[in-house]
Amino acid sequence: MTLDRRITPYNSVIMVRAKTQLNECGIDGVAVEDLRRPLLVFFHADAIELIESDASPWVRLAGQSDIDLVYCTTAWQRRRRSEPAGAARPSSLVQFWAHWLDCWRTGNTAVSDDQPLLIRLTRAQSELGWQESLEVILAAASLEMALHVRFEASAWHSLLDFPDQRRAWQQLLDFELADLEVLGLDPDPDEAALGVKYTEGDEAGSIPLPADRLDLS
Amino acid sequence: MTERAIDHDGRAIALDQDGHLLDPDDWSRSLAVEMARSDGLTLTDAHWWVIDFVRAYHARYGTPPLMRVLMAEFRTFRNDPGLSSRDLYRLFSENPVRQACRLGGHPKPEWCI
């Protein structure tokens, strides 16, 4: 038996989580269709609705060469009982991150070894949205990736509106799976005691955004 | 969904197709012993530590622990930094987190992690 040591076949890996138009999505201003190929497009959360129909512009993407569409089976099963359009294949969050990491190791994703991945949360979400955002982060943590999670104020307030979800997110701090930072709010002593870091509002604008980041909302 | 049942204390306890309790309130330590026996397992202190940890984690956070977390805590519990995931798989050959969830009375984790 021989082992196939080939790493990921993808030069670009992108996760789509919202029901967004094809032309509204991309990485750092580069439209999806213009990302380097081979390209993997991973559909998660509400974005799985984008692959319900063969008529979807997203599904038609799969007709182009070197583009694979995959979806999170758990996100799909939470929302639908039927099968998605034929062009999309089942996958998982851990597989997404494995491809993403392989992309990085082959130099196609701008990530450095000594810097954690920055995950940004910028908007309010539903309770399921918070659950699935946490799952994205836990999947990355399961691969021992270093993670820094940054909340903007509206996102943090939204998470606090769901006490069960806030409780679930605490595992990230309690087991050192990720750092949690909140921008632009006065520190809450109770949250700070739980390990949440607060960054002053006037500092927020000066904080650089590294290239290695993922926006979850 | 195909359901199953396990006889315990004169009652038929309903299980889902994967052997998880349909009603977590049916759980007891004696039922866990019975469920483990049907897996061919005799629960030792080490098995119980894992089951109790997973139950406590679920109660606190509402999710099962990552394997990475379970492994780290197991090393601390055994005071042996040389332990690896193989040692957990020797205890729970199916999948340590998933099997401990099942024997601990929790539903099958619905996520794909």
Report pLDDT for A2: 41
By the CB < 8 Å criterion, does B1 face chain A? Answer: no
Per-residue pLDDT band at A114 (split at 50, 70, 90): low
B101 noted as active-site residue = no
Structure tokens at B102: 């099942």
Same CATH fold assignment for domains A1-109 and A110-217: yes
- At A55, is the secondary structure helix, strand, or coil? coil
Rounded CA separation A12/A36 (Å): 6
For the ranges A205-214, B1-10, B70-79, the lowest mean pLDDT is seen at A205-214
By the CB < 8 Å criterion, does B81 face chain A? Answer: no
Q: Which chain B residue has the Cα nearest residue A143? A: B68
- Whether cis (ω within 30° of 0) applies to the bond prior to A38 is yes
CATH class of this structure's domain A110-217: alpha beta
Angle, CA A132 vertex, CA A103 and CA A181 arms, to 5°:
80
Pairing of strands A117-121, A213-215: parallel
Report pLDDT for A3: 43
Q: Do A142 and B65 touch (CB under 8 A)?
A: no
Rounded CA separation A189/A198 (Å): 10
The minimum CA-CA distance between B113 and chain A, rounded to whole Å, is 6
Per-residue pLDDT band at A93 (split at 50, 70, 90): very high
Q: b/e map of A183-205 (b: 16 or more CB within 10 Å)? A: bbbeeeeebeeeebebbeeeebe
Q: Do A141 and B66 touch (CB under 8 A)?
A: yes
DSSP state of B25: G
Rounded CA separation A139/A137 (Å): 5
Report pLDDT for A81: 76
Which among A73, A171, A175 is the nearest to B112, CB-wise? A73
For chain A, give every domain's residue range: 1-109, 110-217
Domains of chain B by start residue, with CATH: 4-103 (1.10.10.370)
By the CB < 8 Å criterion, does B56 face chain A? Answer: no
| Termini Cα distance of chain A | 44
For residue A31, how many other CB atoms are within 10 A of its CB? 12
By the CB < 8 Å criterion, does B95 face chain A? Answer: no
Per-residue pLDDT band at A4 (split at 50, 70, 90): very low
Rounded mean pLDDT, A51-73: 90
**A and B: number of Cβ contacts within 8 A:** 51
Q: Please give the radius of gyration of chain A, using alpha carbons only, rounded to the nearest integer.
A: 18
By the CB < 8 Å criterion, does A20 face chain B? Answer: no
- The dihedral through the CA atoms of A110, A111, A112, A116 has a sign that is positive
Q: Do B113 and A72 touch (CB under 8 A)?
A: no
Which distant-in-sequence residues (6+ apart) come within 8 Å of B108 by Cβ? Answer: B16, B18, B20, B98, B101, B102
pLDDT: is B111 or A160 the higher one?
A: A160
pLDDT, tens digit (0-9, with 9 covering 90-100), for A161-193: 999 999 999 999 999 999 999 999 999 999 999
pLDDT, tens digit (0-9, with 9 covering 90-100), for A131-168: 999 999 999 999 999 999 999 999 999 999 999 999 99
- At A69, is the secondary structure helix, strand, or coil? strand
The fourth-level CATH superfamily of domain A1-109 is DsrEFH-like (3.40.1260.10)
ipTM score here? 0.92
Query: Structure pTM?
Result: 0.90
Answer whether B60's CB lies under 8 Å from B54's CB: no
Which distant-in-sequence residues (6+ apart) come within 8 Å of B10 by Cβ? Answer: none
By the CB < 8 Å criterion, does A126 face chain B? Answer: no
Report pLDDT for A62: 86
Q: Do A138 and B63 touch (CB under 8 A)?
A: yes
pLDDT of residue A111 exceeding 70, the answer is: no
Rounded CA separation A68/A42 (Å): 8
Rounded CA separation A39/A66 (Å): 6
Structure tokens at A73: 């089976």
| Termini Cα distance of chain B | 22
- The dihedral through the CA atoms of B32, B67, A71, A48 has a sign that is positive
Which distant-in-sequence residues (6+ apart) come within 8 Å of A136 by Cβ? Answer: A15, A17, A44, A93, A119, A214, A216
Q: Do A93 and B62 touch (CB under 8 A)?
A: no
Q: Which chain B residue has the Cα nearest residue A92? A: B112
Rounded mean pLDDT, A75-102: 90
